[in-house]
Every structure is written in structure tokens, then in C-alpha cells.
Amino acid sequence: MLIESAFRYPEAAIAATAPHSPEVAALVGAARPCALSYYRANEVIYAEGDAAGPLYLVVTGAVRIVRLTPDGRRQISAFHFAGEVFGFEAGAEHQDYAESVDGTGVQVLRPQSASGFGNCALALALKSLERANRHLVLLGRLSATERMASFLIDLTDRQGADGFVGLPMQRNDIADHLGLTFETVSRVLRTLKDKHLIRLARVDQVEILDPDGLSLLNA
Amino acid sequence: MLIESAFRYPEAAIAATAPHSPEVAALVGAARPCALSYYRANEVIYAEGDAAGPLYLVVTGAVRIVRLTPDGRRQISAFHFAGEVFGFEAGAEHQDYAESVDGTGVQVLRPQSASGFGNCALALALKSLERANRHLVLLGRLSATERMASFLIDLTDRQGADGFVGLPMQRNDIADHLGLTFETVSRVLRTLKDKHLIRLARVDQVEILDPDGLSLLNA
DNA sequence: CGACCAATTGAATTGATTCAAGGTCCGTGG
DNA sequence: CCACGGACCTTGAATCAATTCAATTGGTCG
């Protein structure tokens, strides 16, 4: 949907491979070695209509998975960070877009032994399904504040950080992920700040001051 | 969550097996024969915390998949009808409830050959994922009217009916699936009726008068 | 420095909810 | 057979959370 070129990068430019979960390690083992691609911000990794098949491992950076309504409204079904796998598709063609959020290194995974790959893929597909199902609750039943609290807690858990959470995506992306407008995202962050639950160290970095307080808002 | 007993029923009481999709047929082939259970309305098929593993094939009736927030708000992540498979779970324990909506026959599927079963399961798990992702767009970005139109079109497609759609679940269930209140569901159905897009033959049966008109509202 | 894009903040609007009556349907018991 | 009770559904009026519209501020890059 945006700029298209995805040029190769010297592997050295990509940070040391993130530690993988057992499921990801198994999948990588069952895949044959493929290109490691680097994308700058807002490039298309695959588009709606592209042939599905290979999976993708995020090595560095962040990826957003995007669906558009016919009239252009946007829903980001998920973000993926280093160590996570995306690209699952039921049919022959992708129904969504995968785009880099920031500078992003992506490893393509193609099946080596068909059966082994499939079995590893199942575990990860089920994780994606679980994620999606939890997000359905968020979109269907949580208030704006609760959505943001959930999102921040989720990011904290996945980034395994020290109380700081990176927000590499812009407010608009967060809004389209949480089913809100970017103005509301901005306002909610302000109220969380006013309640001393978070601190906005930078526009793209949040410090979690009170994880328990945030959890109470979570749902 | 509700009444617990699930008694066995004579197989004859259950209508002739619905024609299965190729994926479902393959899964049934790779499963060892297991109990066919009958549930009356609003019984629990599995609960949050129950051990995951087996899959379930809906033979007759309808099933709802439910998640609850800590304070009791409810999101129905999916409905399943005859010929559909549910019960996918990433971890060892279910994170949601499966409940019968009306009188429902369910076939339990347990792996016979581990690998064959897993490969068949992947295709169906991906279908569930695709469904969930489409529902994310509905919850995140569609208006109440659009949600209802989408829901009715989806049911039409899945029930393969002649312009009539059964609504075996009550308004409250529809609301908790579409992220609305039951009053809003009622009101939206009224406005669709006033626009001559549908007719409420009975409270649980909708006639689609103008599929194209509905599709225009779809998104 | 100036231009541009993203983020914040404020004020007015609105779609959906909440609260509150009724109405309909159906099974049960007199 | 019909009256009653309860569960579900419909409809109306008032409210509210989030959006829309509109500036303004902040940050980055040539």
C-alpha cells in the first residue's frame, strides 16, 4: 500500500538474533534457509491478494497486520515484534497486508520437510488465534481506557523490558489496533499520565510507573 | 457456567450427518471414533480451565464460544453450526467456554495418527483464525447497522439457505457477539426491517429480502 | 529557519448505551 | 380451555463515552 522496495541488507546490520520461544525454534529448524530482508518504515511485506504460503519471522523491528474495509477504514489485527512469526493464511491468497512499522528485519521461512513444518506451524497458528480471541474481547467489551491499559500491559509482557515500553508505531496505528481514533489514544495516554500510572518519557516510549494500577484498569 | 449435565442420545435422534467440507472430512478420517453427545440449550460443553486437546464437530444445532472479563462482561468470539469444528486452544487449558445454544449434537474428535490429525487440524485452525480476524474488523471499525448486516450475510453464507436465516441464539447472544447491547440489536433489526432489507418471519427467523442492499451496509 | 508531519488539546456533536416501560410468546396449572 | 407467570423482545427518553471538527503545539529534517 505504501512504498514498495525491499532491499537486502548486510546481515551484520541486523542485531543479534532474539532468543526464540521453543515453538519458533522448532519452526526455524524445520524451515529451509531463506532470504533475510530488511524493510524501512512503512513498506509492504506482503499485500492483500498476494500468494500465501511462507511464514515470516520478525528478527528486528515491528510489523503491523492491516485489513481495510471497502471504504478505507483500517483495522490493525496485530503487531508483531522480534521473535514472533506471522503470515498465517487459511486460503491461497492473503486477506490482509503486512507492513513494516519501523526499520524491520524479516526472515522468510519456507517448509523443508512438509509434515514437520506443518506441525510446528500449528502451535504458532494457535497462538495467533489465542491473541486474536483476546483482542475480540478488548474490541467488543472494553472502554477506551481499558483498551489502552491492556495494550500497554501486553507490550510490557512481550518486550520483557524493565518498566519501559517502546511504542514504535504512531498514534494512528495504535488507534486502528484498539478500535479508537488517534485523538482518543492521545487523550487516554494523558489521563493515564495524570493518574501517575505511566510516564511519557518520549513520544514513542512509555515508562510503566504502576503496573498493578494499570492491571486494575485492564478489564 | 450453566446447567452441567450432558446425557447421551440415541444416534437416530440426530439428523443425518451434514455434508462436510473437505478439511472436516479429512479431520474426521484422522480421528478415532468417539462419543456423540447431545446437549440441551445452554449447557456447558467445556469450561475455562478444562484440559484442551480434543476437537469438537457440531453435528446439529449451534454452539457459542464465550469469554468473560473479570467483572463479568461477556464476549462471544464465535458461533459454530453443523459441520463446523471448534475447540482449538494454544495452551493446555481452555481460555473460553463452549456452550450449546439450542439442542446440539457434538462429535468429539481425538487424534488417531498424531501427525495426520495435526495436519488436518492446521487447515481448520487457520479458518478459525481467518474468521476471528474478520470479526476484529467488525468490532473495531463497523457501525451497529453494519455489524448486523455483516452478521446476517455471514449466517446466510454458512447456512446455505434459501433466503431465510435462522437465529437460534437470543438477542443477548447476538449483542455479545457483535459488541453491542441487546436493545441496540433489536433496534437495528427494526431499521433493517423498515428499509425492507429483511423481514422478521419469527423472532428466530429472518428472511433476507434484499441481499444486495444488505451487502451495501456490510462495510 | 521554515516546512511538514505527528501529537496534543479543546469544544461541539453523535451513535450507542442506560434506564424505564410495555408487549409478546409460551408453558403450566387451575 | 383459559388465566397466570416468567423470560425474552421491543420501544421510548435521557445520558454519556467517544468521535468529529478545529486549532495549536512539538519535533524533525532539509
Q: Which residue is nearest to nucleotide C8 (CA to C1')?
A: A186
A197 contacts: CB under 8 Å, gap ≥ 6: A149, A208, A209, A210, A213, A214, A217
Average pLDDT across chain B, whole number: 91
Residue A24, CB, strand C, below 7 Å: no
What value does the mean pLDDT take over residues B30-45?
Answer: 93
Contact B179 A67 (CB under 8 A): no
Nine cell digits for residue B168: 437460534
Q: Which residue is nearest to nucleotide C25 (CA to C1')?
A: B203
**Exposed/middle/buried for B92, CB within 10 Å: 0-12, 13-18, 19+?**
exposed
Nucleotides of chain C in contact with protein CB (under 7 A) are 6-11, 15-20, 25
Q: State residue B114's pLDDT score.
A: 67
User: A141: which chain B residues are within 8 Å (Cβ-Cβ)?
Assistant: 69, 73-75, 179
Considering only residues B80 and B112, tell me which one the structure prediction assigns the higher pLDDT: B80
Residue A108, CB, strand D, below 7 Å: no
C-alpha B206/C-alpha B218 separation (Å) is 17
User: B173: which chain A residues are within 8 Å (Cβ-Cβ)?
Assistant: none
Q: Which residues pair with residue B80 across a beta bridge?
A: B63
> Is the pLDDT reported for residue B2 higher than 90?
no
Q: Which run of H or E residues covers position B30? A: none
From the CA of A12, how many Å to the nearest CA of chain B?
Answer: 34
Contact B125 A123 (CB under 8 A): no
- Find the Å distance, CA of residue B183 to C1' of nucleotide C23: 14
From the CA of A180, how many Å to the nearest CA of chain B?
Answer: 8
Q: How confident is the prediction along chain A (219 residues), in pLDDT tens digits per residue?
A: 333 333 334 443 444 566 789 999 999 999 987 889 999 999 999 999 999 999 999 999 999 999 999 999 999 999 999 999 999 999 999 999 999 999 999 999 998 876 778 889 999 999 999 999 999 999 999 999 999 999 999 999 999 778 999 999 999 999 999 999 999 999 999 999 999 999 999 999 999 999 999 999 987
Residue B51, CB, strand D, below 7 Å: no
Q: Which of B77, B121, B176 lies at the smallest CB-CB distance from A122?
A: B121
Kindly identify which residue of chain A lies nearest to residue B150, measuring between CA atoms.
A69
Residue B166, CB, strand C, below 7 Å: no
Residue A200, CB, strand C, below 7 Å: yes
Nucleotides of chain D in contact with protein CB (under 7 A) are 8-13, 17-22, 27
Q: Which of A88, A118, A133 lies at the smallest CB-CB distance from B96?
A: A133
DSSP A181-209: -HHHHHHHHHHHHHTTSEEEEETTEEEES
What value does the mean pLDDT take over residues B63-75?
Answer: 98
**pTM for this model (two decimals):** 0.93
Report the alpha-carbon angle B189-B190-B194, nearest 5.
120
CB B102 within 8 A of CB B81: no
Q: Is A121 on the interface with B (CB under 8 A)?
A: yes
Contact B69 A128 (CB under 8 A): no
Residue B172, CB, strand C, below 7 Å: no
